[in-house]
C-alpha cells in the first residue's frame, strides 16, 4: 500500500532530526536524562497509513514523545499483523522500557505479549482493543469507545427520522471497517443496539471497506444503478452508515464521477476530518461522529507512569463529539486533520 505523503514528509523530518541531533550531540550539552541514561525508550508499532485519521494519530504520538523527551522507536506495519508481531519482537530484543502498539485485528497477540511480560516490559494497547484470555498480558488500553460511536451514529438517524417517514421502511447500507478489528466490530454492535428498537430501519447490506478510500470507491461504484439511483439489487438505499471518513470519501468520489448528487442519500460517517465537517454545510454528509486521533499526550503520561513502576487505568478513553446537519459550525476548532 502506498504511504501518505504527509507520513513520508514526517519520516524525512524524523530522519533529518536524528541526523541533526547526532551532529549537534557533538557540540550540545546532553540533557540530564540522556546523561544518566534514564531517558525512556518507547517501542511503538503503528498499523500503517490507511486514513487521514491514522496519519494524524501517528503524528500526535511522535510529536508528544518528542515534547516529553521520550525516545521513540517507530515501526510502520503497512497493514500487516505479521509486521507488527515482528516489530514487537524486535522491541523486546532491544529491551525498550515500554511497548505501545495499535492492534490491526483483535486476536493473535497472546504469544508475543507473553514474551514481553516474561521480559518485564509493560505494554500499552493503543486505539483498538484486543481479545485475550489473560488480561495481565498488557497494562492498559488508550483509545476511543467504538461502541458508543456506533450508538451515536444510530441516534442521529432516530432523531432525523422521528417525524419524517414514520411508517416507511428505511434501507441502510453499512460499510464497515477492517474485518476482525475492534472498531469495525464495536461500531456495528453499537449501531445495531439502537436501530434494532426501531423496526422501520433495515440494514439491507453490510460490507467491509477495510477503512480504505479505494474500497469505499469500489463499493460506491457497485451501488449505482442504471437509473442513477443507489440500490442493492432491487432495494433502494436511503441511508449509508460508513465506519470511517476515508471510505465515505471513496463513495462520494464514485457519486461525483457519475454526476449523482450525494444529497439524495443520508450519509453518516465516523472520524471527523475537517473536510467531512465542511461537507455537512453543503449537504453531502449528514452526520459526523468524531473520533479523536490525538492520543499522543495521554499516551506519554501513561508511559511515564509505567516507567516509574506505577499502575495505569485498564481503560482510558479519548472523547469525541457529534456534528450534524442541524448544527452551525462557527465554533468548530478541528482536531488537526
User: Which CB sits closer to ligand GYE, 186 or 238?
Assistant: 186
Three-state secondary-structure class, residue 205: strand
Cβ 101 vs Cβ 123: under 8 Å? yes
CB of 337 vs ligand GYE, minimal distance in Å: 10
User: Which CB sits closer to ligand GYE, 215 or 304?
Assistant: 215
User: Which CB sits closer to ligand GYE, 155 or 271?
Assistant: 271
> Rounded to the nearest 10 degrees, what angle do helices 52-67 and 5-27 cross at?
10
User: Which CB sits closer to ligand GYE, 126 or 195?
Assistant: 126
User: Which CB sits closer to ligand GYE, 43 or 183?
Assistant: 183
Cβ 205 vs Cβ 230: under 8 Å? no
> Rounded to the nearest 10 degrees, what angle do helices 296-307 and 52-67 cross at?
50
Distance from C-alpha of 241 to C-alpha of 257, rounded to nearest angstrom: 21
User: Which CB sits closer to ligand GYE, 53 or 91?
Assistant: 53
Backbone angles phi, psi at 195, to 5 degrees: -75, -20
Q: What residues line the site for ligand GYE (CB under 6 A)? A: 50-51, 53-54, 127-128, 144, 183, 211, 244, 246, 270-271, 291
Distance from C-alpha of 70 to C-alpha of 229, rounded to nearest angstrom: 53
Per-residue b/e over 171-193, b at no fewer than 16 CB within 10 Å? bbbbbbbbebbbbbbbbbebbbe
As a whole number of Å, the end-to-end CA separation of the chain is: 21
Amino acid at each position: 500500500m502506498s504511504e501518505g505523503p504527509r507520513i513520508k514528509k514526517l519520516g524525512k523530518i524524523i530522519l533529518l532530526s536524528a541526523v541533526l541531533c547526532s551532529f549537534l550531540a557533538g557540540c550540545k550539552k546532553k540533557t540530564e536524562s540522556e546523561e544518566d541514561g534514564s531517558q525512556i525508550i518507547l517501542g511503538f508499532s503503528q498499523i500503517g497509513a490507511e486514513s487521514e485519521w491514522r496519519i494524524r494519530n501517528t503524528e500526535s504520538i511522535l510529536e508528544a514523545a518528542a515534547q516529553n523527551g521520550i525516545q521513540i522507536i517507530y515501526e510502520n506495519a503497512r497493514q500487516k499483523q505479521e509486521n507488527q508481531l515482528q516489530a514487537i519482537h524486535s522491541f523486546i530484543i532491544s529491551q525498550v522500557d515500554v511497548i505501545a502498539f495499535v492492534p490491526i485485528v483483535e486476536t493473535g497477540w497472546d504469544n508475543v505479549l507473553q514474551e514481553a511480560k516474561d521480559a518485564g516490559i509493560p505494554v500499552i494497547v493503543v486505539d483498538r482493543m484486543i481479545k485475550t484470555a489473560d488480561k495481565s498480558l498488557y497494562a492498559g488500553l488508550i483509545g476511543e469507545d467504538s461502541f458508543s460511536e456506533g450508538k451515536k451514529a444510530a441516534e442521529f438517524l432516530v432523531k432525523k427520522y422521528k417525524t419524517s417517514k414514520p411508517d416507511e421502511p428505511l434501507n441502510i447500507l453499512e460499510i464497515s471497517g477492517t474485518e476482525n478489528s475492534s472498531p469495525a466490530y464495536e461500531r456495528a454492535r453499537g449501531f445495531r443496539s439502537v436501530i434494532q428498537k426501531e423496526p422501520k430501519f433495515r440494514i439491507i447490506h453490510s460490507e467491509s471497506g477495510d477503512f480504505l478510500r479505494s474500497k469505499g470507491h469500489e463499493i460506491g461504484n457497485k451501488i449505482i444503478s442504471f437509473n442513477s439511483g443507489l440500490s442493492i439489487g432491487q432495494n433502494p438505499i436511503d441511508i449509508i452508515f460508513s465506519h470511517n471518513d476515508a471510505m465515505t470519501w471513496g463513495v462520494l468520489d464514485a457519486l461525483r464521477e457519475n454526476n449523482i448528487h450525494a444529497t439524495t442519500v443520508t450519509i453518516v460517517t465516523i472520524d471527523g476530518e475537517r473536510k467531512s465537517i465542511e461537507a455537512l454545510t453543503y449537504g453531502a454528509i449528514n452526520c459526523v461522529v468524531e473520533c479523536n486521533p490525538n492520543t499522543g499526550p495521554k499516551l506519554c503520561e501513561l508511559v511515564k507512569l509505567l516507567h516509574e513502576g506505577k499502575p495505569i487505568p485498564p481503560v482510558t478513553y479519548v472523547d469525541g463529539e457529534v456534528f450534524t446537519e442541524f448544527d452551525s459550525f462557527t465554533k468548530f476548532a478541528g482536531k488537526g486533520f
